[in-house]
């Protein structure tokens, strides 16, 4: 401050002039590392440069990384080709196909219950329904057997019969 007064300059006249750092060596090494390891992002490149003693600040590494276009491109997901949807066959008469559906709900006292509906797809007739807190697979299998004895088997099996109805001989 005394020197400025001595020269005759006011403090408002002085400006800071930043001295740009020479980043050529860092950029050259960063490009070499990025070309060797294409999938490395800037954090890993920063760690490698830091081990070599070239860079201290990660923000500086990021600035150089983006300025020189070294960003790793995100891979786009390949879209799978669309499969043509096949419309299900519409039943032409009753007892051709049944559908089954499990539905759950909750009572006012917070107890849960489940409902199994069996519906004829043509006439929307409901040959059977089970309402209970728990519907195990063995009970569903017995219920379907009872419906088969009472109404006969539909021409097509229910589409939702899966592993849950593959039972062991533990009934």
Domain boundaries, given as residue ranges, for the chain: 21-72, 98-161
pLDDT of residue 32: 92
Average pLDDT of the segment spanning 121-126: 92
pLDDT digits (tens, 9 = 90+) for 48-68: 999 999 877 899 999 999 998
Q: CA 158 to CA 91: how far, in whole Å?
A: 13
pLDDT, residue 169, reads 39
Integer distance in angstroms from the first to the last C-alpha of the chain? 99
In which order are the strands placed within the sheet that holds 128-132? 98-106, 112-120, 128-132
More confident residue, 163 or 155: 155
34, 28, 35, 72: which is closest to 54 by C-alpha? Answer: 28
Query: What 3-state DSSP class applies to 80?
Result: coil
pTM of the model as a whole: 0.45
Strands (E), 56-97: none
What confidence score (pLDDT) does residue 18 get?
A: 85
For 119-165, the DSSP string reads EETTT----EEEEES---HHHHHHHHHHHHHHH---SB--TT--GGG
- Taking the C-alpha atoms of residue 40 and residue 70, their distance in angstroms, rounded to an integer, is 10
Residue 49 CA to its chain's centroid (Å): 35
According to the model, what pLDDT value does residue 164 have? 46
């Amino acid at each position: 401050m005394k020197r400025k007064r001595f020269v005759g300059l006011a403090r408002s006249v002085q400006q800071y002039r930043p001295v740009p750092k020479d980043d050529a060596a860092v950029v050259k090494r960063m490009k070499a590392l990025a070309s060797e390891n294409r999938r490395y992002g800037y954090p890993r490149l920063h760690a490698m440069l830091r081990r070599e003693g070239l860079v201290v600040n990660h923000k500086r590494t990021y600035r150089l990384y983006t300025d020189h276009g070294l960003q790793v491109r995100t891979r786009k997901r390949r879209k799978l080709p669309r499969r043509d949807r096949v419309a299900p066959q519409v039943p032409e008469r009753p007892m051709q196909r049944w559908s089954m559906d499990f539905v759950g709900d909750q009572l006012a006292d917070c107890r849960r219950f489940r409902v199994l509906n069996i519906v004829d797809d043509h006439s929307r007739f409901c040959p059977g329904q089970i309402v209970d807190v728990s519907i195990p697979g063995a009970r569903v299998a017995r219920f379907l057997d009872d419906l088969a004895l009472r109404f006969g088997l539909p021409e097509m099996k229910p589409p939702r019969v899966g592993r849950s109805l593959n039972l062991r001989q533990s009934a």
